Structure 1
């Protein structure tokens, strides 16, 4: 039970930091904290960065963290996250993340003339391929290939017809399609700019707010019962809570409320 709770505490810590930052590369870490985890700095770099980037949690060495240190650990990691958020390294990573999520330019809509040219080109290629196939036809396949060639020539004739219904319909709707495509792209750009503001601290503020919402109203005194070696909440409504809420419950009040206080303070500083 104690080991499980320690793991939950560590899980909460990483979730907290992952909510603060989308990526985490440790340059300076307190030596005593790394010793508690039984990690070298390079191993900490790899494991914590990997956990945050992949969205998973790596619990190696967490059992060595003392129970009464959990609030201190949260404070130390959260303070480092805040410090790292102001670094050029984080700003560079944020810019890369923002760029990687930028909507692609709007897809070009073929003009009626381009559509006709493409249809004619494809029809001519189909005719040429059918003629080549007919030359190599066997008595068993000749009739079928002749039908295919006839259809290919009909398709070419239709494509070259100035009154082609498909092309006429395309011409009638071309401007509307082009406008809809452009407007859709502009909406995507606005959503992207809102999700990834120029000020990286505003991005962090949203993550902090998400954390506060996810850990609001936790009943730290909630009762559990055991069934088939697994613990469940006595109150059924708690079983429907999110995995993050449950993790915070298991981590305990000291760790969670310390993190919440830190998050609230940081939010108030971000303008």
Structure 2
């Protein structure tokens, strides 16, 4: 299975909340109407339509879009932990619901690899080979009638004789080439069967039967990606972009950099929430 989604993060706080937004698989979030969540969306600069469309489009395109960390930077320092916790609480509540479960199972099923088509029978391979050879002979005979160049006629006649011999051998079941084609059909199918078995095993590992298994994977990915972030790393401005003074940090993953931009306050809160949630899921 060639396609293993390498999920990125939806917002900076999504260093953790990816577990809900990424897994909703295009299902529009049924946002609560309580003042608590309305305040969260307002402070993050999100709207129901914008967030929902981003979730849907990110899955259709195979990666997650995310919003600028400036949304969190604009929130007063003392409020960032609270906003993060509220957003994570909503995330947890949503992914434990029936809507998310149904969406995940449908998405999982859509990612399942397809079984290989059964190989053609020897009789079918032989019939096609004979039909194709007859067609080639007919075309060569037509071409020969229109060709005047002696050298070209000679070359075409040699090809014509070869095809006629191939046809005769095939009709008498004496064609080595046809036997190779039949064996190739069998061996090709065996290879596809093995590939399918490997893809199926990878699919079952990537998309567990239980949504909780998938949630656990996303939580662990978040924790791995945000471990050891140097929040005191210095930046230098070059042109209209900022770069790490420590060049080694430029090779860090985009998720590590997003956690850095979100800041220790937000990321630490998200990590603690993720760790506690993981313990509940074990």
**What is the TM-score when the length of structure 2 is the normalising length?**
0.77
Q: From the superposition, tell whether residues 120 and 51 of structure 1 become closer, same or farther in structure 2 (CA, over 3 Å).
A: closer
Contact kept in structure 2, 1:226 and 1:232, CA below 8 Å: yes
The Cα RMSD (Å) is 3.3
> Are 1:46 and 2:56 counterparts?
no
SS in 2 for 1:102: coil
Query: Which of the residues 107, 116, 120 maps onto 1:110?
Result: 120
How far 1:225 moved relative to its partner? 3.1
> Are 1:31 and 2:41 counterparts?
no
Write the mapping of 1:188-207 to structure 2, written as runs, cut at 5 A.
188-207=199-218
Q: From the superposition, tell whether residues 140 and 181 of structure 1 become closer, same or farther in structure 2 (CA, over 3 Å).
A: same
Query: Which of the residues 61, 73, 76 maps onto 2:86?
Result: 76
How far 1:211 moved relative to its partner? 0.6
Unaligned runs of 5+ in 2: 1-8
> Are 1:237 and 2:248 counterparts?
yes
How far 1:62 moved relative to its partner? 3.3
- 1:56 is matched with 65
Q: 1: CA distance between counterparts of 2:162 and 2:126?
A: 18
How far 1:198 moved relative to its partner? 0.9
Summarize deviations over 1:118-153 as a string: whole Å, max 9, x none: 211211222334445556x36569937666644443
How far 1:156 moved relative to its partner? 2.0
Q: From the superposition, tell whether residues 132 and 92 of structure 1 become closer, same or farther in structure 2 (CA, over 3 Å).
A: farther
Contact kept in structure 2, 1:19 and 1:208, CA below 8 Å: yes
- 2:23 is matched with 22
Q: 2: CA distance between counterparts of 1:238 and 1:46?
A: 32
Paired positions, count = 262
Summarize deviations over 1:71-96 as a string: whole Å, max 9, x none: 22322222222111122221222122
Contact kept in structure 1, 2:12 and 2:259, CA below 8 Å: yes
How far 1:187 moved relative to its partner? 2.3
Q: 2: CA distance between counterparts of 1:40 and 1:227?
A: 33
Q: 1: CA distance between counterparts of 2:58 and 2:269?
A: 22
- 1:256 is matched with 267
Q: From the superposition, tell whether residues 96 and 232 of structure 1 become closer, same or farther in structure 2 (CA, over 3 Å).
A: same
Instruction: Compare 101-110 and 31-40 and name the one that shifted more.
Output: 31-40
Q: 2: CA distance between counterparts of 1:239 and 1:43?
A: 30
- 1:96 is matched with 106
Contact kept in structure 2, 1:14 and 1:52, CA below 8 Å: no
Query: Which of the residues 115, 121, 127 maps onto 2:137?
Result: 127
Q: 2: CA distance between counterparts of 1:184 and 1:37?
A: 45
> Are 1:209 and 2:220 counterparts?
yes
Q: From the superposition, tell whether residues 27 and 65 of structure 1 become closer, same or farther in structure 2 (CA, over 3 Å).
A: farther
